[in-house]
A = this chain, B = another copy of it.
Amino acid sequence: MVEIRVAVDGMGGDRAPEQPVRGSVRAVREHRIQVILSGDEQRLRAELEQQGALELLGHGLEIRHAAEIVEMDEKPAQAARKKKQSSIRVALDLVKSGEAQAMVSAGNSGAVMATALVALGRIRGVLRPAIAMSVPNINGKTVVLDLGANTEAAPEHLAQWGFMGEAYARLVDGVDRPKVGVLSNGEEDSKGSDQTRGANAILKRAPGINYGGYAEGSDVLVSDFRVIVTDGFTGNVVLKLLEGAGRFVSRFFRAEFEQSLPRKLAYLLSRAVFAKLRLMADYREYGGAPLLGIAGVVIISHGRSDDMAIMRAIMQGKRHVEVDLNGAIERIVKEHAELFKSAAQAAAPAPGSEPAESTATN
C-alpha cells in the first residue's frame, strides 16, 4: 500500500499561513503523516523557518508552490473558475494526480467545495456532495449532514445523504448498523416539508439501511439516531446553534463560578468535568467537516482553525483514506441507484441547490 500523503492548503483560514503550517508540522512530527503544503513557497518557507521546522522539508513535509490565494470573502464559483493557481486548487490537483490522497483546507469553504467539484468531480452516482460532521450525542456521536453545501435539497438528495452518512457512521465512527433519520418538525410521517416527506418515503422502502423515520431537533443531542440528514440551510442553523449552546454554557458557568469562594472551590474540585464538556463542544477536537461525495477525500476546516484543529483534520483525512470511505460510498450509491433514480424522475430539481455557496464553517 502506498504511504498516505495529505495535501494542506497552506494559505487558507483566518490565521494562515501560521496555523496551517503549525498543524502540518505537528502532524508530521507527532503522527508521522506525510504532508504537502500548498501556497506561496517563500512565505511557507519563512513560516517553517520561524517555527524551527525547516529540517522537515524532504523528511515528511513538502511545499508545492501556488501563486494565488482565494480570499475568505471571495465569490466561490468565480474563484473556482478563474484561480487555477490558488493554494486550494493546487492542493486538490495533488489529490487528482495521486500525489496526495486527501486534502485539508481552512480557507473559503464555498471556494473549496466549488473548486473540488471542478478539480475532482463527484463520486460516480452521487447527486450532490454534502458537508458532514459528527457531533456529540449523549449516547455516542451523531453524523449530521448537509451542513451547508446545498441551501435546498430534493428528496433523492436527502435520501442519498442518508446512505452516505450511514457509511460514515459505520466506517469512521465505528457504529454497527447506525440508525438513520430525516430531520423534521415532528415524528409523524405527515409532518415535514414536501422534501422531507419525499425522502422519508424513499428511505422507508430502502433495503439495507436501518432507517428510523423522522428525527427531531432534540435527537441531534439526545437519541439513538447515529445519522441525521437535512438540507444545508437547516443543517447550518443546527451547527451554529450547537456552537452557540457551547458558548452560552461556558460563559454562564464562568460568570457563576466566579461569584463566591465556595463556588470557586467547587469549580476547582470539578475542573475535569468542565474540561470534558468544553472538549465535547470544541470544534477543534473534530478537526473539520468532510465534504462527502467528492471523488477524493476533502476536509473543510473552520476558518478560525488553530494548529490543533488542522492537525486533527489531517488525521481525519488520513483515516478516511485508510477506511476507504469513498469506495464504500461509491458501492452503496451504485447498489441503490434505482432508489435515487426513480425519485429524481418523480421530483422536480431543487432550485438554488448548486453547491457554490457554502456557509458551514465560516
Given contacts A186-B359, A352-B193, contact A243 B218 (CB under 8 A): yes
Chain B residue with the shortest CB-CB distance to A249: B249
Contact of A265 among B184, B249, B269 (CB under 8 A): B269
Q: Is A58 an interface residue (CB 8 A)?
A: no
Q: Is A123 an interface residue (CB 8 A)?
A: no
A148, A184, A280, A351 pick with most chain B CB within 10 angstroms:
A184
- Say what secondary structure dominates the interface of chain A: helix
A184, A185, A239, A245 pick with most chain B CB within 10 angstroms:
A185
Q: How many residues of A contact B (CB 8 A)?
A: 62
Q: In the bound complex, do residue B191 and residue A359 qualify as a contact, i.e. CB atoms below 8 Å apart?
A: yes
Task: State how many angstroms separate the Cβ of A255 from the closest Cβ of chain B.
Answer: 9
Within 8 A of B (CB), among A184-228: 184-186, 188, 190-194, 216-222
Q: Is A244 an interface residue (CB 8 A)?
A: yes
Given contacts A152-B193, A185-B359, A193-B151, contact A237 B237 (CB under 8 A): yes
Chain B residue with the shortest CB-CB distance to A195: B233
Task: State how many angstroms separate the Cβ of A268 from the closest Cβ of chain B.
Answer: 8
Copy count, this protein chain: 2
Q: Is A241 an interface residue (CB 8 A)?
A: yes
Query: How many Å lie between the Cα of A234 and that of B241 in the bound state?
Result: 12
Chain B residues within 8 Å of A233, by CB? 184-185, 192-193, 234
Contact of A244 among B220, B230, B262, B268 (CB under 8 A): B220
Q: Is A85 an interface residue (CB 8 A)?
A: no
Q: Is A232 an interface residue (CB 8 A)?
A: yes
Query: How many Å lie between the Cα of A219 and that of B263 in the bound state?
Result: 28
Q: In the bound complex, do residue A270 and residue B241 qualify as a contact, i.e. CB atoms below 8 Å apart?
A: no
New A-B contacts (10) at CB < 8 Å, excluding given A191-B359, A221-B244, A256-B276: A185-B236, A185-B237, A217-B244, A252-B280, A256-B270, A257-B273, A262-B270, A266-B266, A266-B268, A270-B270
